[in-house]
Amino acid sequence: TILISSLGLGTTLTFIGSHWLLVWMGLEINTLAIIPLMIRQHHPRAVEATTKYFITQATASALLLFAGITNAWTSGEWSLTEMINPASATLALTALALKIGLAPLHFWLPEVLQGLDLTTGLILSTWQKLAPFAILLQLYPLLNPNLLLSLGILSTIIGGWGGLNQTQLRKILAYSSIANLGWMITILHYAPNLTLLNLILYIIMTLTTFLLFKIFNSTKINSIASSSTKSPLLSIITLLTLLSLGGLPPLSGFMPKWLILQELTKQSLFIPATIMALMALLSLFFYLRLCYATTLTMNPNPTNMLSSWRTKPNHPTLILLTSATLSILL
């Protein structure tokens, strides 16, 4: 209870703070609260993931604090929105990119997510992104648009290429996260409300995906193949959610991509828009591969085909059904 409420407190502090130290303190509380949750399952992979996460986040926090102090030193202002010094703004952007795992500072994210159980992985993929994005949404007029654009395009490329040869579902979700963050960062300078829309939709879709994988208890592609025998309905929901994450019309995930491409073309950024649309195809490929595994392959064990899915479900369905409906039909 203490750890979960500390997670909430850290993010809320960052949301309401306008002083650099308060914002930084919120991020620190957030990081320190999730570390015991990560290391809870006593396993070498969990310990390794926690150590990597801690070192990365400590580096990012130090950079962020340094950016705030440099700005205060040159301009005398501690307020978040008064970041006059361009070097400080760039430094803060780099720190936040490292914190959320944007390419080329993304190397920790797949490794860390792979070492966690699905519940903590869900917190890391959704809740932990809120506080850094709150800062970015306040800082966006001061950030360098070319740097944002290059970070975003690189993230969509890495997120597309990296997920292609993965067999672990958590690593695939990590690369999907990198690609989605790339879309959000690209449009941040031009239409921050689209970034917010994309973030909310990404969180809803990721929540659904993690909850479904948790119900099926699957962490690899070959274990998701037997999901259709456990519950045909849930495997259909999984299929639709994955396609929505990939951004296929008419599902929810298509909406932010469409709006972002439209906004980029309005800003005459045709080449970045084309690159990102093509890289979305790469992401779509590995989502389609997951869908193929979910629906078209049957578990080669004919005895338990019809035994389990007629029984009453033993998992909380309300959150899952709400988020699934939103992530498919919004």
Could you read off the pLDDT of 246-285 as tens digits, one per residue?
Answer: 999 999 999 999 999 999 999 999 999 999 999 999 999 9
pTM: 0.93
In terms of Cα–Cα distance, which of 219, 251, 255, 258 is closest to 236? 251
pLDDT at 68 over 70: yes
Q: Which of 125, 143, 161 is where one domain is finished?
A: 143
Choose between 157 and 225: higher pLDDT. 157
pLDDT band at 327; cut points 50, 70, 90: very high
Residues 78 and 187 in one domain: no
pLDDT band at 298; cut points 50, 70, 90: low
Q: Which of 127, 143, 159 is where one domain is finished?
A: 143
Residues 65 and 24 in one domain: yes
Query: What is the residue range of 20's domain?
Result: 1-143
Residues 220 and 324 in one domain: yes
Q: What is the pLDDT of residue 295?
A: 78
Number of domains the chain contains: 2
Residues 126 and 150 in one domain: no
Residues 48 and 162 in one domain: no
The full DSSP string for 249-315 is TTSTTHHHHHHHHHHHHHTT-HHHHHHHHHHHHHHHHHHHHHHHHHHT---S-GGGTTTSTTSPP-S
Residues 154 and 173 in one domain: yes
Residues 321 and 281 in one domain: yes
Across the chain, mean pLDDT equals: 92
